[in-house]
Amino acid sequence: MKTGGNRIAHATQKLQRSLSQRIRMASAIVNVPKGHLAVYVGENHKRFVIPISYLNHPLFKDLLDWAEEEFGFNHPMGGLTIPCNENYFITLTSSLTQ
């Protein structure tokens, strides 16, 4: 059983983690140019900033559909998380700019 002091310390730690995460998320959003969006790719959640126009491209839509079906959408990093291989993502997005 937690004592009153332990509960307060635990609540304070949770609040600090939550605030820290919100600050990181806000920082990530601020560092994205207008007309772009941050995506986090792969196991290491490498951050990429991509044009929002990619969201309308059929190949990118297929990638998003696959990610949603396979893993659902989870955005703990403050941007879209895509759990595919980084090399695949780079190859795909490189083909969208041509």
In a domain, 21, yes or no: no
Question: What are 11-46's pLDDT values in tens digits?
Answer: 667 666 665 565 555 545 567 888 998 888 988 889
Structural domain of residue 90, as residue ranges? 32-96
80 domain residue, yes or no: yes
> Cα(79)–Cα(39) distance, rounded to whole angstroms?
5
Asked whether residue 82 is assigned to any structural domain, the reply reads yes
Total tally of structural domains belonging to the chain = 1
**Is residue 83 one of the residues assigned to a domain?**
yes
Find the radius of gyration of the CA atoms of the chain.
Answer: 18
Position 78 scores a pLDDT of 61
CA 26-28-34 angle, 5° bins = 100
Tokens matching residue 75: 């955005």
71 belongs to a structural domain: yes
- What amino acid is encoded at 35 in this protein? G
CA torsion angle 74 79 83 88 (round to 10): 160
In a domain, 27, yes or no: no
Q: Is the pTM of this model over 0.85?
A: no
27-36 pLDDT, tens digit per residue, is 455 678 889 9
- The reported pLDDT for the residue numbered 66 is 85
